[in-house]
Amino acid sequence: MTAAETLPRWPGDSRAACAFTFDLDAETLWMARGVHEPVTLSQGRFGPVEALPRILAMLEKAEVRASFFIPAWVASHYPEAVRAIAKAGHEVGCHGDEHERVSDLDPKQEEAILTKSLETLTPLCGRRPVGWRAPAWQLSACSLDLAAKHGFEYSSNMMDRLVPYRHPEAHGRALVEIPVSWVLDDAPFFMFTGQRSIQAPGPVLQGWLTEFDGITEAHGVTNFTFHPQIIGRPSRLACLREVLDHVKHTPRVWTAPLAEIAAHWRNTQQP
């Protein structure tokens, strides 16, 4: 087998893929940490109320369709936000109920949350979500089995590859994994919990662009993970705009929602 035969195959003449994903955690990001203090929670509310409309406008201008992962609690409290996301042609995926860490739950609780999440999001988006991302990217021993059982197409949680891959088959379905990375996430750099200082946007932007260039050279998938409440501050929205520009001006990169990347991977029967 030659090296070329082992390279991932992307649509048309694309050499790599890129996805813009947003975890609309709102207040649940803080509730899951046991915080119920109003000012801290208001940082979460900034996401759906103030940041989301600006992000949607920016994506529309860039002609990029993204994936939004939304906890059921957030969908129930901000149904108009979910409708606006779906109406703009973006994908909506499941992301727990109150951003609980499924690694702390027993399998029955975890399955109940998965079911609730599907029942809450499906009518708001007009279609059943096919993607699942665990809150805080922490899985239990049965998470992937439950996702397969409930008909999901893909998981976007693992950090072991630069390319998608298939999980072992369970319930007659091999979930496609579209890997993520903390380095492509805004929270480790910008989320302020009172314990360390906030990083300046410029160096973080430079890191993201270099990471994207490297993954593109490796023919992989760059899976950006942003949080509207974090990336939505004006100084960071400027970063997002630069990232969108850079990706759009890089030749032969396929930008798509994760659902389409997963479907491509499955349809082209890549391992």
Contact residues toward Zn ion (CB under 5 A) are 23, 25, 135
Pair 195, 233: CB distance under 8 Å: no
In this complex, which beta carbon is closest to Zn ion, that of residue 65 or of residue 95? Answer: 95
Nearer to Zn ion, 137 or 265 (CB): 137
β-partners of residue 18 are 222, 255
Which one-letter DSSP state was computed for residue 252? T
Question: What's the DSSP call for residue 63?
Answer: T
Least distance (Å) between residue 241 CB and Zn ion: 23
Smaller CB distance to Zn ion: residue 71 or 201? 71
Question: What does the DSSP assignment read for 80-92?
Answer: HHHHHHHHTT-EE
Smallest gap from Cβ 205 to Zn ion, in A, equals 22
Give me the least distance between CB of 229 and Zn ion, in Å please: 10
The smaller minimum CB distance to Zn ion, of residues 62 and 85, is found at 85
Q: Please, what's the b/e burial string for 110-125 (b: 16 or more CB within 10 A of its CB; e: otherwise)? A: bbebbebbbebbeebb
Closest distance of CB 47 from Zn ion, Å: 10
Chain mean position to CA 39: 26
Shortest distance, CB of residue 136 to Zn ion, whole angstroms? 6
Q: What is the largest CA-CA distance in the chain?
A: 59
Cα–Cα distances (Å) from 207 to 158, 164, 233, in that order, read 20, 22, 19
Q: Which residue sits closest to Zn ion, CB atoms considered?
A: 23
Please name which of 4, 14, 26 lies closest in space to residue 264, comparing C-alpha atoms. 14
Residue whose C-alpha is closest to residue 40's, from 50, 52, 27: 27
Nearer to Zn ion, 16 or 81 (CB): 81
How many angstroms separate the CA atoms of 47 and 27, rounded? 9
Between residues 135 and 201, which has the closer beta carbon with respect to Zn ion?
Answer: 135
Shortest CB 25 distance to Zn ion, Å: 4
Amino acid identity, residue 95? H
